Amino acid sequence: MMTANEIDAIKNILASPKKIIIIPHRNPDGDAMGSTLGLYHFLLKQKHQVTVISPNEFPNFLAWLPASEKVLIFEKEEHKCEDILDKSDFIFTLDFNALHRTGDIMKASLEKLDKTFMMIDHHELPDNYAKYTFSDTTYGSTCEMVYDFIDQLSEKNLIDKTIATCLYTGIVTDSGSFRFPKTTGKTHRIVADLIDKGVENNKVHNQLFDTSSYNRLLILGKALQNMKLLPEFKTTYITLSQAELDSFNYQKGDTEGIVNYGLSIAGIDFTAIFIENTAEGIIKISFRSEGDFDVNQFSRNYFGGGGHKNAAGGKSDKTLQETVLYFESILKEIKK
Ligand code: 5GP
Ligand code: MN
């Protein structure tokens, strides 16, 4: 929770109409888009001028979110976005806690700005670029934090069906449909309230999970065929090469959630997915664990990434094959 002083300061800032920017992390997921758009609709209702700027394109399975069509994409309209950033009064950054998570180019733009930032985020080890920080790793999603943020501003009555739908979306996606460990009674109480505010929960689930393409399932099939089992390390991993993705006409978002299959085998408590991205010249990696193994630390130590204890991301500049060999060598090292 924020301190009473911080809440008063934010209330003061928001007391008169402001030009506000809201930024999710690069490659935004359901929680990043749900929290930014939820906050967007809330601030609009308070008569602010609000713009959501996503560092890059968001996946198609989130394109039904209310006002997603108004989101500016920094990497597509750099000058326009920089101009709006320049003229802004206040910047929210949501669902990340280090500016490099917006990508190198946007990071450089943000670092040049002399603006007041507020961070709302649930990842480990926040950087200190923000004057106001609502950072708490006990939350399962940034959307729950935005709900509590609105509550702390004593404006819960402003949460309508639109805001609730955005926030519900991020809670569902970041909690793996209410099954990950940070899902609490409070999560369910917030969700209950959001449904009471009008969220058509069944419809949201359909839009998130039942709008897959045939090719997306073929990519999943390929991923599962590629899965390696390393029982001596209680580990599995999946690879997807660019050529494999291309052969199924890969679309952004198609690999979302595939990593979790690696944990669904009995006796496995650590898994990774390595996805080749030739355009960016990197292997994008996701790590997941069950129980005590800290993948946030693992990714920080070996793959320049981070995240949470049981879910983290990272990247590698090596080839796909080299990356996998490196990964296996680390496992052997750690076991020793
Ligand atoms: P995913 O594997 O779904 O991309 O990410 C898992 C979690 O780790 C998400 O909460 C995501 O925001 C975070 N994450 C992903 N990549 C990175 C990264 O490079 N650095 C940090 N600090 N967090 C990351
Ligand atoms: Mn999140």
pLDDT tens, residue by residue, 215-230: 999 999 999 999 999 9
**Residues 152-163 pLDDT 10s:** 999 999 999 999
Q: What H or E segment, with its residue span, contains residue 330? A: helix 320-335
Answer yes or no: are the C-beta atoms of 64 and 34 closer than 8 Å: no
**Residues 113-156 pLDDT 10s:** 999 999 999 999 999 999 999 999 999 999 999 999 999 999 99
The alpha carbon of 126 and the centre of ligand 1 are apart by a number of angstroms equal to 13
Percent of all residues in the chain with a pLDDT value above 70, rounded to a whole number: 100
pLDDT of 1 strictly over 90: no
Query: For tokens 């998130």, what's the residue?
Result: 208
Rg, the chain, Cα only: 20
Structural domains in the chain, CATH included, are 4-209 (3.90.1640.10), 214-335 (3.10.310.30)
313 lines ligand 1 (CB under 6 A): yes
The alpha carbon of 142 and the centre of ligand 2 are apart by a number of angstroms equal to 5
* Distance (Å, whole) CA 118 – CA 141: 17
Atom 18 of ligand 1, nearest CA residue: 305
55 lines ligand 1 (CB under 6 A): no
126 lines ligand 1 (CB under 6 A): no
Percent of all residues in the chain with a pLDDT value above 90, rounded to a whole number: 98
Type of residue at 36: T
Is the pTM above the cut of 0.85?
Answer: yes
**Residues 268-308 pLDDT 10s:** 999 999 999 999 999 999 999 999 999 999 999 999 999 99
The alpha carbon of 145 and the centre of ligand 2 are apart by a number of angstroms equal to 10
Residue 242 region by backbone torsions, left for phi larger than 0, else alpha for psi between -120 and 50, else beta: alpha
* Distance (Å, whole) CA 230 – CA 234: 6
The alpha carbon of 185 and the centre of ligand 2 are apart by a number of angstroms equal to 18
The alpha carbon of 134 and the centre of ligand 1 are apart by a number of angstroms equal to 18
Atom of ligand 1 nearest to the CA of 29: 3
Which are the contacts of 221, defined by CB distance < 8 A and separation ≥ 6?
A: none
311 lines ligand 1 (CB under 6 A): yes
306 lines ligand 1 (CB under 6 A): yes
Q: What is the pLDDT of residue 336?
A: 87
List the end-to-end C-alpha distance of the chain, in Å, as a whole number.
Answer: 41
> How distant, in Å, are the alpha carbons of 52, 98, 181, 272 from that of 294?
32, 19, 14, 13
Q: What H or E segment, with its residue span, contains residue 82? A: helix 78-86
Question: Among 254, 334, 267, 256, which Cα is nearest to 295's?
Answer: 334
At 162, list the tokens.
Answer: 């639109």
Answer yes or no: are the C-beta atoms of 167 and 35 closer than 8 Å: yes
**Residues 237-276 pLDDT 10s:** 999 999 999 999 999 999 999 999 999 999 999 999 999 9
305 lines ligand 1 (CB under 6 A): yes
